[in-house]
Amino acid sequence: MIDRIELSIDAHVAEVMLNRADKYNALDLRMFEALGEAADAIAANASVRAVVLHGAGGNFSAGIDVSVLSESDLDFSRALAAPITPSAANLFQRAAYAWRELPIPVICALEGVTFGGGLQIALGADIRYAAPNTTLSIMESKWGLIPDMAISTTLRHLVAPDKVKELAWSARVLSADEARAVGLVTAVVDDPLGAARAMAKDCAAKSPEAMRGIKALVNQAWQMSDADALALEARLQSGIIGSANQVEAVRANLEKRNPEFDD
């Protein structure tokens, strides 16, 4: 348990739950710190092959706790400018960007309110399953701010630029179905946490190198020239093919048994 976050690990899958249900899992300073700490703890545990990210109390997160905006002891200029080494992200960005930095699959389950910074945290995940009752908004302009929790990296390949501007300028609230239609969520399902757990379990049962390689390929190649993307494919594959886990995947399939992979 990390203050503000509940972290558990079982069968190669880590679960991270935003645990401030009485405040709709709103993001105060401690929550920002705790999200980065949880990601660091997972990164340091070689046995973890997938992550499930969700919120307590029937909501994902209502976004920033307005108390943060009146923090007298916080030097905002310094906090915004200073990356959390070795990341390129600052304290606020890393609450979302840390899930993109993790080399393993991160599956997010959404329900209830998913506003502002809460939505940006969800966008740091690789896949987002939303319950039909989920409501989402890029809400920062309501508070006179821009969305600045790594959305420039996590949203650029999901939603067209004109749509991002329209959503961010208006700060309007979207239903789960509209969010899926524009690309903010992967799918709308009746049980998003169950779907996230099932997907994470499936990923954890496959070769860790293949799962990491797929994430690296998609996260990097979509921003490259054709030549660089092709070279990346070849480089990633050359590091996987013939490895112990890749050979085990082949053997297990041929022998019709469950594979046993090394961490």
- Domain over 207-254 is classified CATH 1.10.1740.10: no
Residue 44 sits at the vertex; the CA angle it makes with 43 and 46, to the nearest 5 degrees, is 85
pTM here? Answer: 0.93
Residue 172 and residue 178 in contact, taking contact as beta carbons nearer than 8 Å = no
Lowest mean pLDDT among 40-49, 61-70, 220-229: 61-70
- Contact status, residue 95 vs residue 32, Cβ threshold 8 Å: yes
User: What's the whole-number mean pLDDT along residues 238-258?
Assistant: 95
pLDDT of residue 66: 81
Q: Summarize pLDDT for 76-102 with one digit per residue, the tens.
A: 666 677 888 889 999 999 999 999 999
Structural domain spans, the chain: 5-203, 207-254
Could you report the per-residue pLDDT of 100-133, keeping only the tens digit for each? Answer: 999 999 999 999 999 999 999 999 999 999 999 9
Residue 78's pLDDT is 67
Contact indicator for 184, 123 with CB cutoff of 8 Å? yes
Q: Using CA atoms, how far apart are residues 67 and 47, in angstroms rounded to an integer?
A: 37
Distance CA 222, CA 122 (A): 20
Domain 5-203 CATH class label: alpha beta
What is the distance between the alpha carbons of residues 224 and 173, in angstroms, rounded to a whole number?
33
